[in-house]
Amino acid sequence: MAALQSVRGTHDLLPEESLVHRFVEQTAYSVAQRYGFGEIITPIFEFTEVFSRTLGETSDVVTKEMYTFERSGESLTLRPEGTAGVARAFISGGLAQSLPLKLFYRGPMFRYERPQKGRLRQFHQVGVEFLGVDSPLADVEVLSLAWRFLNELGQGPHVHLEINSLGTSSDRITYANDLRQFFSQHIDSLSDDSKTRLEKNPMRILDSKDDGDKRIVAEAPLITERLTEGQKHFDEVKRGLDKLGIPFTVNPRLVRGLDYYCHTAFEFVTTQLGAQGTVLAGGRYDGLIGQMGGPATPGIGWAAGVERLSMLVGAKSSSVRPVAIIPMGDELAAFVVAETLRAAGVTVQLGYSGNMKKRMDRANKANARFALILGEDEAARGAVTVKDLDAGTQEEVALVSVVDRLRERL
């Protein structure tokens, strides 16, 4: 019988990788807390309509990538992204009286797409949503949070912020008409997907991955040339970023195709991951909650892929280095010492089996700070040998004093 394998597009996070993954998540949460964001945890699956209504019936995610299943006559979908679930929770939880709301989320997302470097079918995201404030300063705040998060991961020198404005709803209507007129002149050269989108939502053609579409899109009119009311909001966002010293470039080709997006759209990109260059992306979506049946509520947020960020961060040693206990006599006595240290808040790795060299090798592999060697002679004296694995020195310490001695040195 063949050995069981993991499903294609999924990945086991073994302890070393899990450490980096947790570091990315915890850094995001810590920074979000400093900005006043509280954590929200939504279900991993929702009614399919939550996503089909918000992501657009013609989007690739809805038509090709969602994991949807039927249960008791209901259509349910594993969440492909986090914003729609947060917006649904806002509506069903009756949170309109609690505005403004700052919400942080993290967890697994699911999309059926071709697995590649940094892209999986089950992947993880961290993200924030700021609801109830339409001021450009809210845009600046979530951008500042993202910038600080990436810097605390050590990625500040390796990422760059690109921003654009999608304007107001009236700006977008004007722009969509311009695009419809432009793309109609090239309809014979458009992909089948883009032909479908031409009447329903021509802005989605700008996101096309088809090479032929891309050549046509390169000549399309720019929304920045059509801004009227939205220009003031965009200028204020840029002024805020300049004031905070956050570098950026305006990318007039950066868009979001869905109607509820407006004003600021942004991405943090890197050249360190090849073609998968976007590590964090977001934008303002003032029309989303209203489109879902809730009260008109402005919002802005972003999401970041934990796997991609983990690839950038690389190996990250634990902030807590253990103490290795190496019993060379009575293992139960060593276990009692280990439990005493754990009760005092010390992280302990207990060395099982093998000679002294093998146990010391395992202690070094675990990045232990100290090794406690408990042999028969030490046990008879009520003592333990404490070996400093960084300095290469050692001393004998009475068992009754070992907790205090380690606390002094850790």
Q: Are residues 332 and 283 in the same domain?
A: no
CB 350 within 8 A of CB 366: no
Structure confidence by residue, pLDDT tens digits, 342-382: 998 889 988 777 788 888 888 888 888 998 888 888 777 88
Q: Are residues 385 and 241 in the same domain?
A: no
CB 232 within 8 A of CB 257: no
Q: Are residues 279 and 353 in the same domain?
A: no
195 lies in some domain: no
**C-alpha 69, offset from chain centre:** 26
pLDDT of 248 reads: 97
Structure confidence by residue, pLDDT tens digits, 260-303: 889 999 999 998 877 668 999 999 999 999 999 999 999 999 99
Indicate the residue among 262, 285, 313 that finishes a domain: 313
Q: Which residues does 285 contact at the CB level (< 8 Å), separation at least 6?
A: 83, 258, 260, 261, 262, 299, 300, 301
CATH number, domain containing residue 28: 3.30.930.10
Q: Are residues 305 and 347 in the same domain?
A: no
Which residue numbers in the chain have pLDDT < 70?
A: 56-60, 62-63, 117-118, 257, 275-276, 315-319
293 lies in some domain: yes
Q: Are residues 283 and 402 in the same domain?
A: no
Indicate the residue among 266, 285, 313 that finishes a domain: 313
Q: Of 50, 86, 88, nearest to 300 (Cα)?
A: 86
Q: Are residues 305 and 328 in the same domain?
A: no
Q: Are residues 160 and 252 in the same domain?
A: yes
Separation of alpha carbons 290 and 294, rounded Å: 5
pLDDT of 316 reads: 64
pLDDT of 86 reads: 97
Separation of alpha carbons 57 and 118, rounded Å: 26
Indicate the residue among 295, 313, 331 that finishes a domain: 313
Count of domains in the chain?
Answer: 2
Q: Are residues 394 and 284 in the same domain?
A: no
Structural domain boundaries, residue 402: 323-409
CATH number, domain containing residue 366: 3.40.50.800
363 lies in some domain: yes
156 lies in some domain: yes
pLDDT of 376 reads: 82
Q: Which amino acid is at 292?
A: M
Q: Are residues 328 and 373 in the same domain?
A: yes
Cα–Cα–Cα angle for 289, 34, 160, rounded to 5 degrees: 75
pLDDT of 23 reads: 94
pLDDT of 242 reads: 97
Q: Strands, DSSP E only, in 328-369?
A: 348-350
